[in-house]
Structure formats: structure tokens, C-alpha cells
Amino acid sequence: MAAVQLSSQSRVGENLATCAELCAAAATRGAKLVVLPENFAFMGPESERSSHAEVLGDFDAPIQRALASLARRHSVFVVGGGMPERSENAERPFNTSIVIDPSGALVGSYRKIHLFDVDLVDGTTLRESASTTSGGAPAVVRIADFSVGLSICYDMRFPELYRALVRLGAEILLAPSAFTLHTGKDHWHVLLRARAIESQCYVVAAAQWGKHPLGRTTYGHALVADPWGTVIAECSDGRGFALATIDAGRLTSVRASLPSLEHRRL
């Protein structure tokens, strides 16, 4: 499994070309699932997101066509970790994670529930709800031999979502993100390891890194954590991917040795 780290900008074609390069490299290294971060195709002005919104399942549209092509070419599952999906409000598309199987078919999707509206002490102001429609339901999809729970970035601060995903059978949790530098340096590793420990799941967090239009800076450190909360693969600065093996035996061992999921009372 590869958690990709990008530095996406405002040109969709260039971003998709970078995705293609890293997907090919990850497949060459043995990845069977490639997870792209939030905003992998477009990370420009929020006011322009709607112009790139696609109808889910439209493989003539450029973003979905590109991901389906990558999946077929490399015989891998590809997760587009957050892209604009057309909604009933033309100015506020969904932020949607999509799962494409090795045949190029859409086999799962999730619309981001928790939207990032904050005024940070470093002067950064973000209002995701101004240009995005919130989703409303958790989603688990079968990928190879595993049940995989989908989430996006800010969702990771809401453990009740991950508890719902575990109740739906999740064994792997995906958290593709564009985490700000200001919050990421203090919270990224803590939150992801906590989600892994409490859910007794692998957590795969693709990430954006570096500087983006309008002064936005993201933290990076794409990583994979195992069900014990140990980070088993992580990116440094720059574009790349964190590659790790998902081990069903490790998952079973952790859940058997400390059966906290069986001890839930609320």
C-alpha cells in the first residue's frame, strides 16, 4: 500500500501528471493500493473548485478518466482522496474520495462530512463550507481482502466517525489530507496514531506538502500506522510515497491480545 505525498497546485493537468508518475513508481515497488491525498487534482483558489467539479461515475471527465487509466495500466486500486464532485448547489460541490478498482470501475466513494472552518493564530483563515457541501454518511468499501473505511483530513478530529466505521467492519482507515503546517506539526502524528490505537486498524494517510496558491502551506508526512499505533512508513519533505505492507495477521494479533473493541459499552 502506498500513501502518496504531493504538492498540488492550481493546474489540474500538471497535478494529474505528477499523480501518474508516483502511481507508476509505487506500482513498480509492489503497491496494490495507491492512495492520493485530498485535493490531489486541484489545490488552487476555493472559488475555482466548482469549475472542476465532476459527476460521480463520469469517466469522460478528466479527473476520473485519469484515475481509471492509472488503475487499469498498473493493475492497482487507486483512491482519489478528495476531489470536487458536483452537488445540487453549483457553487458548492462535495469534497469526495473515490475508489477505483484495477479494472477502472468506481467501487466506492465518500463525501467529506466535517468541513474545515477556522481562523488560525498564524493568520490563516479557511472556510471550506463556503465552497463545499458536506456529506452525511460514513462509507466502508471492500478492497482486496480488507474492509476499508473512508475519511478525509479534518474528519480525523472526530473519533465518533471512526467508531462508526469500525462498527461497519473497517480494518483499514484511509485519511487522505491537506493538513496545514500550523496544526500538522503538533497534531498530525498524535491524531493518526490515536485513530489507529482506538480503532485497532491500520491507518493510511496520504498528504499534501509544501506551498500552494494564496499562501497556503501544508505539513506533509504521509504515513502508514499499524493497529498498535506504530508508524511503519513515513515520507520526509517533498513529493513521494510511504510504502507499507498491510498484514492481516498483525491485525488479528492486536485485536486478540487487547480486545478493547469487544469491551465497548456506549
- For the segment 76-93, the average pLDDT, to the nearest whole number, is 97
Phi/psi class of residue 44: alpha, beta or left (left: φ > 0; alpha: ψ in -120 to 50)? Answer: beta
Which residue range forms the structural domain that includes residue 54? Answer: 2-263
- To the nearest 10°, report the CA torsion of 14, 15, 21, 26: 180
- For the segment 26-54, the average pLDDT, to the nearest whole number, is 96
What's the chain's average pLDDT?
96
Where is pLDDT greater, at 77 or 118?
77
The answer to whether residue 223 scores a pLDDT higher than 80 is yes
SS3 of 124, please?
coil
The answer to whether residue 120 scores a pLDDT higher than 90 is no
Which residues belong to the active site?
38, 112, 153
**pTM to 2 decimals?**
0.96
d(CA 204, CA 226): 9
For the chain, the domain total comes to: 1
Cα distances from 26 to residues 29, 48, 172, 175, in angstroms, run 5, 30, 19, 18
The answer to whether residue 82 scores a pLDDT higher than 90 is yes
The answer to whether residue 62 scores a pLDDT higher than 80 is yes
Domain with 85 in it: what CATH number? 3.60.110.10
Where is pLDDT greater, at 69 or 119?
69
Question: What pLDDT, on the 0 to 100 scale, is given for residue 167?
Answer: 97
Q: What is the pLDDT of residues 121-135, one digit of tens each?
A: 777 778 899 899 999
Share of the chain above pLDDT 70, in %: 100
